[in-house]
Structure 1
Amino acid sequence: MLLHYLAPFLLLCAVVQVAVAFTDGLLSNGNFELGPKPSDLKGTRVTSKHAIPAWEASGFVEYIPSGHKQGDMLLVVPEGAFAVRLGNGARIKQKVAVQKGRHSLTFSAARTCAQDEKLNVSVTPESGILPMQTMYSSNGWDSYAWAFRAAVGEAEVAIHNVGREDDPACGPLIDSVAMKELTPPRITNKNLLKNGDFEEGPYIIPNTTWGVLIPPHIEDDHSPLPGWMVESLKAVKYINSPHFSIPRGNRAVELVGGMESAISQIARTIPGKSYALTFSVGDASNACEGSLVIQAFAGKEKMHVPYDSKGKGGSKRAVLRFTAISTRTRVVFLSTYYSTRSDDMSSLCGPVLDDVALISVRR
């Protein structure tokens, strides 16, 4: 009988101490819907490091139900009924059994009462700092992607609030932690660029309607968008067809940060040979109305591609022809203007880029 009553506790200990086998999707209890026992809570604060099933917590960690109020502020849970809040120096971590190679971590985060929130995302021995000063969505939260290369078969995934506030309870809400194994893209005889259709990318949490932010290269050594590098100061948004208008296929990129939102790739070329860079420009059917412009650069050539958006979807094709001047040609796309959605006047938006191809052509 004693073993019968202890079985749930022994199972929980095994989940915490042993790496959980992983498949693409949410980590074990990645949405935090399984919560601590009442005896492991003091108000909303978690008092035991193994109180949250499948996770190990340290520092000022809170378990927050949807609709919880802090003073006059209503705390918004990104998905489901519960999330965790990381106060001063707080950390949550979980061991996951993974295949060697590149993976992408996705999670949702919402700011609360702190202004200078930063998150240290790590998978030993790699780590990166993701600033949260810019909120791209008006609903109060965003989803972020961060990539890493697993060198061994076990990864310890950790999210750590490195901020220090006067109120130790001020910190970001974390929800929907997921992971995906990334497939290395290859060039083909029809495209000298890798992953030109953007079909390979970070995990997008099902039933979420706000896409996933891909951080700048300075904050992530391994891009969650294989083949491409975000070389600007702001993130770009990875979007999917169930919730956005996509020119072709199921995935695309939205350049949401104006001229601070740029992606690039370096392709092998032959000096003196002629090439054509083709791509689609459109809008995501997300009320991003007005004049949208993508600038494209390749070799010594550049072009502006305007798109008059009604905010209801659509796209057009563009071609940039150039002559290679080096064995390596850098292809860059960026948005000219800063835009916000017409339905809330605060969510950042921009032109959609998709179906990018680089081919050799005769003169």
Structure 2
Amino acid sequence: MALAILFVKLLFLVALTSSQVASRPVILGEQNFDWRSPTNLSVNETSQFVLLDNKTNIIPGWSYQGTVWYVIARKSSLTGDGNGLQLGPNGMISYTFYCAVRQHYFITFRLAPSSPYCANNATAVNVSDPRFSKVFFYKESLGKETWQTHAYAFWGYSYVITLQIQSVTTISHGNIACWPIIDNLVVTGIHNAEIRENNGDFNGFSNSGFEVGPGPLVQSSQGIFLEAESNLNNLSSVQLALYPWIVLGTVKYINSNHYAVPEGRRAVELISASGNPSGIAYNATAINGIRQYILEFIMGDAGDSCVGDFTVVVQVGSMKWNFMRKSNGAGSSKKYSVKFQNWTYSTTDVVPISFVSYTETRTSDHQELCGPVIDAMYLGIYSGLRSTRLPSGLAIFVLVVTFFFLA
């Protein structure tokens, strides 16, 4: 019996340790051009854009080609009161690093226009590695700051990976060539085991609280904007920034340092514009018609003065439910749930589940899009007696204790 008690204590310590370790990103490389300025830089008091020469001006950790300027923000707020790089004609920067194969990686960066004329969809960069690429646009409607934070995801399929960020040629309405400014580039790595971590045991959703994702979020005062992949019909060819959740439209990835988050440290804000969908989806497995299931989530507002009527459309296969909530923009939230059963699915089927908003809502100053915040997703078998969810390790501990008492 003493040996059994010792074993139970060991299980409890393992469970406690695993719950504390989960969702800790490993920072592989960081470049903030404020404090890692190019070498041999010649700057005078009036210079704001300094053309770099790749023979004499070295950017620590990075290589570059084409036309690249070092941007000194001074009193302007092009990149959040910091310095950055502007990628001109054929301008491209590259970063090569060692990584673990089959590990999930993110690159987070700030994007800013060079002038107000280039603010809406006229400023863009292409982020790529040898297998994937994606174009990111600065969208004026998303926020009131003169910079935005975006994220890109990729798998560690090789021991050495080279990331590239290249300018995309665009012309503004004023016939002005718009070249993007970038700053605060951060690469993070996440172990697959951390991605699979659930909010509780027996949860059909992985990464159910969105605690694992791009980061760090501490400096992202307006959140990180995540956009839908263009090839969702072939998910094996895309990298999901909120893996294994699929982004629909554009969503804002927020944290508790700057926003009201219902549970944990991170959540997702749905920011629909002009009736276009904003949401997330999940391909669930092992759902069949023999059992009844319960789906739970928390809906609230981010405490960002987002006042209005929220509606989140939840869809499981062909079944739909509308969940509505009146927001006062003060950061309140509420848990919602629905029970369902569908005889058309077998345990081998993949069942799409989505949470989508179609209603445009703006902050009280009308300067930025906002919307419902969703968090703490749960999918499980409905037993009629809904009990409080336990962390997965603690649930194992309770089961083991029960076994020894009954033995």
The residue aligned with 2:31 is 29
Looking at structure 2, the residues matched to 329 and 28 of structure 1 have their Cα atoms a distance apart, in angstroms, of 39
TM-superposed deviation, 1:135: 4.5
Looking at structure 1, the residues matched to 42 and 256 of structure 2 have their Cα atoms a distance apart, in angstroms, of 44
TM-superposed deviation, 1:247: 0.7
TM-score (norm 1): 0.83
TM-superposed deviation, 1:196: 1.2
The 8 Å contact of residues 33 and 83 in structure 1, kept in 2 or not, is answered as no
The residue aligned with 2:106 is 104
Deviations 1:210-240 (A, max 9, x none): 111112021781111121001x3x3111111
Q: Indicate how the Cα distance of structure 1 residues 347 and 125 shifts in structure 2: closer, same or farther if over 3 A, else same.
A: same
Residue 285 of structure 2 is aligned to residue 295 of structure 1: no
Looking at structure 1, the residues matched to 358 and 328 of structure 2 have their Cα atoms a distance apart, in angstroms, of 18
Decide which of 56, 59, 64 is 1:57's aligned counterpart.
64
Deviations 1:284-341 (A, max 9, x none): 0011112112111113322211121111101011112211331322110011311111
The residue aligned with 2:73 is 66
The residue aligned with 1:178 is 186
Q: What residue identity is the alignment partner of 2:263? A: R
Looking at structure 2, the residues matched to 31 and 123 of structure 1 have their Cα atoms a distance apart, in angstroms, of 22
List structure 1 runs of 4+ shifted beyond 4 angstroms: 39-43, 164-169
The 8 Å contact of residues 217 and 255 in structure 2, kept in 1 or not, is answered as no
Decide which of 222, 243, 253 is 2:239's aligned counterpart.
222
Q: What residue identity is the alignment partner of 1:175? A: D
Q: What residue identity is the alignment partner of 1:279? A: F
User: Could you say what secondary structure the match of 1:265 adopts?
Assistant: strand
Residue 358 of structure 2 is aligned to residue 336 of structure 1: yes
The residue aligned with 2:280 is 263
Q: What residue identity is the alignment partner of 1:265? A: Y
Q: Indicate how the Cα distance of structure 1 residues 274 and 299 shifts in structure 2: closer, same or farther if over 3 A, else same.
A: farther
Q: Indicate how the Cα distance of structure 1 residues 212 and 93 shifts in structure 2: closer, same or farther if over 3 A, else same.
A: same
Residue 377 of structure 2 is aligned to residue 356 of structure 1: yes
Q: What residue identity is the alignment partner of 1:267? A: A
TM-superposed deviation, 1:175: 0.7
Looking at structure 2, the residues matched to 329 and 287 of structure 1 have their Cα atoms a distance apart, in angstroms, of 36
Decide which of 232, 248, 273 is 2:263's aligned counterpart.
248
The 8 Å contact of residues 78 and 113 in structure 2, kept in 1 or not, is answered as no
User: Could you say what secondary structure the match of 1:359 adopts?
Assistant: strand
Once the two structures are overlaid, the 10-residue window that deviates more, 305-314 or 159-168, is 159-168
The 8 Å contact of residues 27 and 189 in structure 2, kept in 1 or not, is answered as no
Q: Whose radius of gyration is greater, 1 or 2? A: 2
Matched length:
332
The residue aligned with 1:8 is none
The 8 Å contact of residues 225 and 250 in structure 2, kept in 1 or not, is answered as yes
The 8 Å contact of residues 313 and 322 in structure 2, kept in 1 or not, is answered as yes
Once the two structures are overlaid, the 10-residue window that deviates more, 159-168 or 268-277, is 159-168
The residue aligned with 1:157 is 163
Looking at structure 2, the residues matched to 120 and 205 of structure 1 have their Cα atoms a distance apart, in angstroms, of 22
Deviations 1:57-115 (A, max 9, x none): 222211111247xxxxxx53324531111122211112122222221110011123435
Going by fraction, where is strand more abundant, 1 or 2? 1
Deviations 1:200-219 (A, max 9, x none): 11113433311111120217
Decide which of 200, 206, 211 is 1:199's aligned counterpart.
211
Looking at structure 1, the residues matched to 201 and 41 of structure 2 have their Cα atoms a distance apart, in angstroms, of 60
User: Could you say what secondary structure the match of 1:290 adopts?
Assistant: strand
Deviations 1:18-57 (A, max 9, x none): xxxxx83473434443223234999521122653222212
The 8 Å contact of residues 112 and 123 in structure 2, kept in 1 or not, is answered as no
TM-superposed deviation, 1:165: 4.2
Gaps of 5+ in 2: 1-24, 232-236, 385-407
Looking at structure 1, the residues matched to 28 and 213 of structure 2 have their Cα atoms a distance apart, in angstroms, of 16
Q: What residue identity is the alignment partner of 1:273? A: R
Q: Indicate how the Cα distance of structure 1 residues 142 and 81 shifts in structure 2: closer, same or farther if over 3 A, else same.
A: closer
Residue 41 of structure 2 is aligned to residue 38 of structure 1: yes
Q: What residue identity is the alignment partner of 2:361? A: S
Q: What residue identity is the alignment partner of 2:224? A: V
The residue aligned with 2:14 is none
The residue aligned with 1:282 is 300
Going by fraction, where is helix more abundant, 1 or 2? 2
TM-superposed deviation, 1:117: 2.8
Task: Indicate the percent of aligned positions where both proteins have the same amino acid.
Answer: 26
Q: What residue identity is the alignment partner of 1:350? A: G
